[in-house]
Structures are given as C-alpha cells and as structure tokens.
Structure 1
Amino acid sequence: MLNRPYDGPLCRAFRGDLARVLVWFEHYQNEVVSRAGLRLVCAKGCRYCCFHWPEDVYSFEGEIAARTIVEQSPERVNEIAAAFRDDEREMERLDEIMGRKLGESTEGAQLSEEDRVELLLASYYRLERPCALLNPDGTCSIYSVRPLSCRIYLNFSDPFFCVPDHVDESDVRTYLLDLEEEASELLDLLHERFVRYKGITGLRPLLARLLESR
C-alpha cells in the first residue's frame, strides 16, 4: 500500500486494499485466540466497547468513516457531529478535573504521561457516554468500516465484566489484541500521507471535524 499512487483515501483502489488489510487482521485475531485456547464472548448488540474513547485512529479510517456516514445517513450528519463535539468537551472537562486532582497528591504528580492517559481514558469509559454511531439495537452503524481501534477490544470472560463498574475486577479477562508493531508502523506512514487534522487521533473529535467540513 505504501508504494501505490492512490488518489486519496476515498478512492476505490485504497479502500479495496484497506478492506483486505482488515480481513487479514480478523484472521490474525482469530488465529491468536484459537491458538491460546480461548473463547470469545463478544456478540452482536453488546455496546459496552462503544463507551470507550477510541484513540490512535488513522486519518484514512476517519475519512472513510465520515464518507460512509454522509452516504448512509445524510440527515444525521449534523446531529452526529454535534454529539461528538459534546463528547470532546466532556473529555476536556474530565482532563481538567483529573489534572487538578492528580496535582494535589505526590503520587498523582509522579504519574508518567502514558499512565495519565490510560487513567483519563478509563475515567471517560466510566461515564458511559455511547458513541453517536450506535444504532438503537446496540449495533454499529458503520460496522464494516469501523477503525482498527474499535476492533481490538476482546472479552474472554462473562460480558457482565465489560460493564464499566466491573471492568477493573481481578478476574476480568478483557484484552486489547492489536496489530504487530511492524504493521502498525506501516499504517502510521499511510496516516501521515493523508492526515488533515494534525494531532487529532481520537475517533470522536476527528469525525466531528470531518463531518463539519463536508
């Protein structure tokens, strides 16, 4: 994909190649789970993963998702963009509160940036703010083109443990099964080729901007 002269992330050639990457990724996940002797309990209509704040979304994933929304649900574009803007404001409010609280304690002030981000994302999850792309039946309205960041959440225990109030319990078996590092680095290069909003990699704020620009 890196060496092909695409006419942007929305062209047929790029979307076809990306679709194949997603198929390979699904096969990879299935192989890892099978070899580990685990049983996936995730099922259609379970919406708990959609309370997350997906980060590290690639620019081309956002472009394709935004185009899909515009084509499938043109009457909802403004509504979805506004909902994602509300989510962004809530995240900013939460970040400010958390920063103030952490600054009041020695332990909090010593947190690494990575740990701080993980704590912020976990705190947002507990707010149970559903993604604006959820259908009433708990399914994703852009499921076939959802970003890789939305595909990595896996649960091998009871779905009950995906409930935000229980996700930190000791016997929870939920995992993030992502791409191998080398594959991620290749997609990072593609991301840079098509990026329009530098530094915006959260799904919700990225889609808000992409939808507002159409």
Structure 2
Amino acid sequence: MSLHILLAFWAVSIALAATPGADWAYVISAGIRSQAAVIPAVFGLFLGYLAITCLVAGGIGALVASVPLAITILTFAGAAYLIKLGISLLRHPPLPKEGDDQETGTRRWITKGFAISGLNPKALLFFLAFLAQFTTLAGAWPVFLQIAVLGTIHIVNCVMIYPAVGFGARSVLRERPMASRITGYASRTIMIALGCLLLAERLMKISSSGM
C-alpha cells in the first residue's frame, strides 16, 4: 500500500472517530460515572471493532452482509441493546459522586462496550464499504492484509480519541452537577435514538422489499 493512501485513510478515519455517536455517548457516560470506567469502556469498544475487522478481513463480513436475514437479526440485536442500555442509564444515571473512582465494574464496562461496537450493523457495513475504497487488487499486499492494516489504523485512532472524550467529560462535568445531568441525559438519549433509527431504517427496507 502506498504512503499517500495510508495518510489519506488516516485523515478520514480521524475525522470519523472525532464525530459524536453511540461510542461517544458511551464513553461520556463512563467518564461521568467514574474515571476508572473510561479505559474499560474504550477497551470494550476496541474489542468490538477488532472483531469486525477480523470478520471483514477474513471475508465473513461480506458473506453476512449478503444475507438479508443475517443483517436484519444483527440490526435488531444491536438496536435493542442500544435502546436497553440507554433506558437503563436513564433510570440509573451515572452521576459522579465521592468514591466513584473505586467503583470500576471493569468487566461490565468492557462487555457493554463490546456489544455497542460489535453488534452495530452500521459498523460492519461501514467497514465493508469504507475500507474497501482504500484497497486495490493490484497492490503488493493481498486485500485481506490491506483491510487488516486499515482496520487497525481506524481502531488506533478511536482508541486515541475516545479516552480523551471520557476523561474530558469527567474533568469538565464533575464540578458542574447540572451540566453533568444534561450531558448524561443527552448521551443516553442519543443511544436510544440511534437504536430506534436502526430499527426504523431496517423495517423500512423490509417493507419495501416485501419481506
């Protein structure tokens, strides 16, 4: 792969990782809850994206994407989890309190992060479509290796940016209870809204295809 292709991909990937979405909402909630929760939350997201990269590089991602039922099941599972997690966090807001730094719940934050990124059908389709644009059959590297490298670059960018988002939320909002509540509710509402949009979009496709 040429250096200019890698640099172009890196620049686009940075811009995408810096765009707020479900990942941001999750790490902000983790940051508000506890400083010690940020790294496990990001690590969970990392594992989810790593799994998707392996699926796409191995060709399984394209196979899944070609089966409408598989995408429908994945979409419903991912959307349902986002909605469930958003509602759960709305019912039990992770507001910062004294002693929170000792309450990590490491495994729980990792598992939730993995589910958010790994069960996201948009992430799978994004990796399939986006990474493929920067690969070439004429390259010295096989396509699966090119995809693996590009996926790794994107994951590294996310891992660089997401902790800053989580720790930034913690430091900025800890001494501002009202701003913390507003930001927390906003991030959880984003999760629920994204889940609903995923469901609505998939249901529209099913309806239009007559399935």
Give TM-score, length-normalised by structure 2.
0.31
Q: Which has the higher helix share?
A: 2
